[in-house]
Amino acid sequence: MRVWKQTWVCMAMLVGAVAAQGEAPAAPIAQSQSQVAKKPMFGERSRAALAAARQEAMKVRGLQGDAQLAALQNAAKAYDVAAVQIADEPKAAAQAAFSAAELWRRHGSVGEAERCYLASASLDAERYAQRGKLGAADMQRRAEKHEQAIATYRDAAAIDPATARAQTARLWIGRVLQTMGREVDAVVAFRTAVASAVTTSQTIEAINYLASALLVGGDLAGASQALAQADAAVSTAIVEKPEDAERLHKALESMSARRALQRAQDKAVDAAADAQQVDKPRG
C-alpha cells in the first residue's frame, strides 16, 4: 500500500513540474472534414427559389417539339422570377439569371437570352463576367447585330485573355467580320487569335481560320506560310510531349484550309496550263 502511495505522489510531482515549466496542454483532436459543417453558399430563401426553378427545368427532360419548347419557356420564366425574388443576394440572382439565359437560348429566344446573360455578368462578375459576356455576344451575333457582337466578344476576351473562352471570342470576332465582308479585318483578327493561342490545339484552330481567310483573299503564299507555322508548332509540341503526337497530327490533317489550299494550287496549275495552250502558235 505504501508503494502505491509513493508512486501516486511521484506522478503528482511530475505533473506539477511540467505545469510549472509552462508546457502547453495537448491540443484537442482535430475534427474530420465530414464533421465540420460547410456554410451554405446561398441563404435559405435563395436556395429554395433556385430549387423551385430547378424543378421546372427538370420537366424539360425527354420532351420534344412543341412540348419541349413550352417546358423550356416555363423553366426559363421560373428562373427569371427567381432572379427577381432573390435580387438582394446578387450571387444567387446571377446563378438564376445565367440558368434562365441557357434555357432561353435553347428555346430560341435570343433577345431574352442576351438579357439574362448580361444580367448574370453584371450581378456576379467573379463567376459569370466572361461566360455571360460570351453568351450575350453569341445572341447578338445570331440576331445579326454584328458591330455590337464584336464589341461584346472583345469585352469577353479582355476579362481573362488566357482562357479557352477568350480564344473562342477572338475567333468569333474574325468570323463575324467575314460575315460582314470585311476580309482584311478578319485576317487581322485571326492573326491576333494565333498570337494569343495558349495551347497547340488552339494554334491549329486559329491558323486554320487564318489560312482560310487568306485563301478567300487569293493569298495562296500567305496561306501556305500559315499552315507551315501550324506544322512547326506541332513539331515543337511533340518534342515536349510525345504522347500528343498522334492527336496533333490528326488535327493537322483535318485542317480544312490545307485541303482548300491544295485545291487552289491545283486550279492555279490548270489555269497556267490552259494559258500555255492558248499561247502556242497554231500551225
**DSSP per-residue letters across 23-69:** PPPPPPPPPPGGGSPPPPSS-HHHHHHHHHHHHHHHTTTT--HHHHH
- 230-241 pLDDT tens trace: 999 999 999 999
Report d(CA 103, CA 109) in Å as an integer.
9
| 132 and 117 Cβ atoms separated by less than 8 Å | yes
The reported pLDDT for the residue numbered 66 is 98
Report d(CA 211, CA 205) in Å as an integer.
10
The reported pLDDT for the residue numbered 40 is 82
Three cell numbers at 248? 496533333
**Helix extents (H) in the chain:** 2-20, 44-58, 65-85, 90-107, 110-123, 125-142, 146-159, 164-179, 183-196, 200-216, 220-240, 245-253, 256-279
Report d(CA 157, CA 179) in Å as an integer.
20
What is the model's pTM? 0.81
**DSSP per-residue letters across 242-253:** GGGHHHHHHHHH
Match 426553378 to its residue by C-alpha cell: 53
The reported pLDDT for the residue numbered 12 is 40
**pLDDT tens for the chain, residues 1 to 283:** 444 444 433 334 433 443 444 444 444 444 555 445 577 889 999 999 999 999 999 999 999 999 999 999 999 999 999 999 999 999 999 999 999 999 999 999 999 999 999 999 999 999 999 999 999 999 999 999 999 999 999 999 999 999 999 999 999 999 999 999 999 999 999 999 999 999 999 999 999 999 999 999 999 999 999 999 999 999 999 999 999 999 999 999 999 999 999 999 999 876 555 544 545 544 4
- Classify domain 45-159 at the CATH topology level: 1.25.40
Three cell numbers at 69? 419548347
Report d(CA 153, CA 30) in Å as an integer.
49
- 8-24 pLDDT tens trace: 333 344 334 434 444 44
Going from N- to C-terminal start, the domains of the chain cover 45-159, 162-271
Report d(CA 262, CA 123) in Å as an integer.
50
Domains 45-159 and 162-271 in one fold: yes
- Classify domain 162-271 at the CATH topology level: 1.25.40
